[in-house]
Amino acid sequence: QVQLVESGGGSVQAGGSLRVSCATSGDTGSSYYMGWFREAPGKEREGVAGIDSDGSLDYADSVKGRFTISQDSAKNTLYLLMNSLKPEDTAMYYCAAGESPFLRKLMGLLRAPAYKYWGQGTQVTVSS
């Protein structure tokens, strides 16, 4: 079992930066892959960024060049640094962890069904 707790959300003006964190605990083995997703009101949950157990990364086109996913294994913490924020980045941000090599290969790092464990989310609001 894996527990995920997000923090660091808040309100920021367009063009600003924010870093959200995800503290992980439980059975987080070396084969886990992790990701950040977001869900805006009236929209489907979308993958934002993912990091595989081998360190490979993937980003949604909408955030490439602006967002950076990273992981501090010593602290068991996943981060998402968000720069040049836009009002359309406003959403609830969730971190997720997955453990299935089959699902990872089938779906990649940015599709929600590939992930088994989810945090409760942290709200990010960007004003214009």
SS3 62: coil
- State the pairing for strand pair 33-39/46-51: antiparallel
Confidence of residue 39 (pLDDT cuts 50, 70, 90): very high
Q: Determine the Cα angle at 100 with ends 97 and 59, to 5°.
A: 55
Confidence of residue 3 (pLDDT cuts 50, 70, 90): very high
Q: Give the tokens for residue 96.
A: 């997720």
Contact 33, 109 (CB under 8 A): yes
- Mean pLDDT value across the chain: 95
pLDDT for res 73: 82
Instruction: Give the percent of the chain with pLDDT over 90.
Output: 90
Cα(30)–Cα(102) distance, integer angstroms: 16
Confidence of residue 30 (pLDDT cuts 50, 70, 90): low
Cα(32)–Cα(97) distance, integer angstroms: 7
